[in-house]
Structure formats: structure tokens, C-alpha cells
Amino acid sequence: MSQKKVNLGVREVPKPLNWLTFSLQHLFAMFGATILVPKLVGLSPGVALITSGLGTLAYLLITKGQIPAYLGSSFAFIAPIIAAKAAGGPGAAMIGAFMAGIAYGLIALLIQQLGTDWLMRLLPPVVVGPVIIVIGLGLASTAVNMAMYEDSGAKVLVYSAKHFGV
């Protein structure tokens, strides 16, 4: 049995059916993080959608459309957002997220000026891959608890069905 390997170059345009399939896949991947993360931390999904849209447009302009990427909410920021929200309210959490975006931009400019060779030596894929896996596995139990209970910090845990739709 032979397998057909499909690769698309940067400048290639997929066939309409593939394009639709890829678009739907991207939509579902985007929607889960962009809506679920703000819901889990008690912030506005509307703000997440607007800021992720603006960030994505800026990214596409900077990369001249070379990399079809979407910048959205990250599950890695759940704990810091909850801590900032508890310490200073929703405004503090949003300012912290904004400052993380500024830091991201500054680091990107630094990498643009210095190149990526030093970064690839410092953080090869064999290092980055397991780090991403550890972050995901570490956050999985938090996400499940936050989605499963109405108030995951309460003394008496009450099941909630509102997040199962997502």
C-alpha cells in the first residue's frame, strides 16, 4: 500500500477543498484557546478575540504573509493571569498580558537583528519539544479542574456542565 505525501510550499495555494479543510482545522484550533482561556480565568472573550486579531494582523504584516500563523490565547498564562487578577483585579491581569505582548515584540526584534542560529544552538528542537509537552501536561489537570467545577477553589466542589459545550 502506497501513501501519498502532501507538502505545500510557502507560495503554493492548496486546492479549494483542502483550503476549506485547513481553514476549518485552523478555526477550531483557534476557537478553543481564544474562547476557553478567557472563560477559565474570568476575563472577556471579546477582548481576547480583538487583541488576537490585531496581533495576528501585525504578525502577518511583519512576516509579509510568509508564515500562516494565528496569535491567540495561551494556556501557559492561566496561572499568572489568575494571580494578577487576584492581586490587582482584571485590569492588572490585562496589563500583565499586554506587557507580555510587548516583551514578545522586543524579543522578536532582537532575534530579527541577531538571527536565529544562536537561538537554535541554545534551544534545539530536542529541548523545546519536551518543554512544551511538560507545560501541556502540567496544565492539563488545572484545565480539567477549572472546567469541571463551578468554583475549583471552593471547599465543596460542585460539578459544572457549562464548559462541556466548548
Decide if 35 is inside a domain: yes
What residues make up the domain containing 79? 17-122
Residue 153: inside a domain, yes or no?
Answer: no
Average pLDDT over residues 87-111: 88
Q: Are 20 and 30 in contact (CB under 8 A)?
A: no
Number of domains the chain is built from:
1
Given pLDDT bands bounded at 50, 70 and 90, which one contains residue 164?
low
154 within some domain: no
Q: Is residue 103 very low, low, confident or very high in pLDDT (cuts 50, 70, 90)?
A: very high
What was the pLDDT predicted at 47? 86
Note the pLDDT of residue 50.
92
122-153 pLDDT tens trace: 989 899 899 888 888 887 777 777 667 767 66
Q: How many CB atoms lie within 10 A of CB 38?
A: 18
Whole-model pTM: value is 0.59
Q: What is the mean pLDDT of residues 72-95?
A: 87
Q: Is residue 156 part of a domain?
A: no
Residue 88: predicted pLDDT? 92
Please state, in angstroms and rounded to a whole number, the distance separating the CA atoms of residues 142 and 147.
8
In a domain, 145, yes or no: no
Task: Measure the CA–CA gap between 85 and 94, rounded to whole angstroms.
Answer: 8
Query: What SS3 string covers 106-151?
Result: HHHHHHHHHCCHHHHHHCCHHHHHHHHHHHHHHHHHHHHHHHHECC
pLDDT recorded at residue 87? 93
Q: Is residue 139 part of a domain?
A: no
| Helix residue ranges, H only, the chain | 16-41, 45-62, 78-114, 117-122, 125-148
* Residue 4 domain flag: no
pLDDT above 60: residue 166 = no
The answer to whether 41 and 81 have CB atoms below 8 angstroms apart is yes
Amino acid, res. 120: M
**Cell numbers 541577531: residue:** 114
**Each residue's pLDDT tens digit, 12-46:** 888 899 889 988 888 887 887 788 888 888 888 88
Task: Report, in angstroms and rounded to the nearest whole number, the Rg of the chain calculated over CA atoms.
Answer: 19
Q: Are the C-beta atoms of residues 55 and 71 closer than 8 Å to each other?
A: yes
The answer to whether residue 132 is domain-embedded is: no
